Amino acid sequence: MAMENWKPKTELGKRVMEGSVASIDMIFSSGKKIKESEIVDRLLPNMQSEVILIGGSPGKGGGIKRTPTRRTARMHRSGRRFRISAMVVIGNGDGYIGVGKAQALEHRDAIEKATHEAKLNVIPVKRGCGSWECACGTSHSIPAEARGKSGSVTVVLKPAPRGLGLAAADEGKKVLQLAGIRDIWSKSYGNTRARINYVLAILSAFKKLNAMKVHAAGEKEQEEENESETGKNGTKEAAEAGTKEASEAE
C-alpha cells in the first residue's frame, strides 16, 4: 500500500503517523478537520466503497438505465465542454461513513477524486436500538428517529426491530450497509429520483443523530449549535446539487 510512502503535510497527519493520535474518535472529539486522506486510510483500514449511480439514460424498452457517472455539458464559445461527475460512499460497515462528489474529464479520475473527498468527509454514525418493539440494546439500528434534508429531498430514518432489514431505496441501502446499520425504516419525500440529494439527505439525518443527546429511554434532545451547523451545510450542498446542467449518461 502507498501508506509506507506517506509524508504527512498537516500537524494532525504527523500526529497520526507518530501514533499520538491513535483513533479517529480522538479527531472527532477534538473537532479537527481531516485534510489528508491517508489519516483515514491509517485509522480506518477497513473502509469499503460504493459508487452511487447518479447517471442515467433512457433504456431500450423505456425506463432509465442507471449508470455510475453523469456527463454534463457546458456551452462554451468554442463548443460544448464535457465533464464527468461521480459520487462515492465509503464506510467500514461499523459506524463510520463518508460521501464525496467530484468532477473530472475522465470517468476513472472522477471516481478516484470522489473517493478521496469521501475520506475527508468521514463522520461517525450513532447506532443503537431505539425500537420499542425490540429494545435489545445492541447497535443494529439507530437510537432515535432522525430527519435529514438536501435540496428537495427529505428523508426520515426510524429505528426498526432486529431482522427487519433495510427498508430503503437501493442507493440508500448502500449507504446504510456501509454505515453498519442492519435494520431501519425509512421514508423519503420530494424528488427522490434525485439520487445525489437522496444520499445527502441520509447523511444529513446521520449528522442530526450525532447532534442529539439520546438517553437510554430513547428520548432525544437537540443541541442547537450543531443543529444550525448542519442546516448551513445542507443549504450549501443543496445549492450545488441543484445547479442546472444539461446531463447525459456516460
Going from the C-alpha of 148 to that of each of 34, 112, 172, 204, 220, the distances in angstroms are: 23, 27, 13, 5, 16
Q: Are residues 199 and 149 in contact, defined by beta-carbon separation less than 8 angstroms?
A: no
Applying CB under 5 A, among 129, 166, 168, 175 the residue interacting with Zn ion is 129
Considering the complex, what minimum distance in angstroms separates the CB of residue 215 from Zn ion?
A: 16
Pattern of binders to Zn ion over 159-198, x per CB under 5 A? ---x------------------------------------
Residue whose CB is less far from Zn ion, 162 or 220: 162
Q: Where are the alpha helices (DSSP H) in the chain?
A: 11-18, 24-30, 37-43, 107-120, 170-179, 195-211, 224-241
Residue whose CB is less far from Zn ion, 13 or 143: 143
- Note whether 136 binds Zn ion by CB under 5 A: yes
- Note whether 99 binds Zn ion by CB under 5 A: no
Three-state secondary structure call for residue 2: helix
Applying CB under 5 A, among 51, 134, 157, 201 the residue interacting with Zn ion is 134
Considering the complex, what minimum distance in angstroms separates the CB of residue 126 from Zn ion?
A: 15
Considering the complex, what minimum distance in angstroms separates the CB of residue 161 from Zn ion?
A: 6
Q: How many CA atoms lie within 13 A of 191 on its CB side?
A: 10
Choices 60-68, 110-118, 154-162, 174-182; region in contact with Zn ion by CB under 5 A: 154-162
Residue whose CB is less far from Zn ion, 8 or 180: 180
Choices 76-84, 125-133, 166-174, 226-234; region in contact with Zn ion by CB under 5 A: 125-133
Contacts 24+ apart (CB under 8 A), 65-70: 65/249, 67/249, 67/250, 68/107, 68/111, 68/250, 69/107, 69/110, 69/111, 69/250, 70/247, 70/248, 70/249, 70/250
Binding site for Zn ion (CB under 5 A): 129, 134, 136, 162
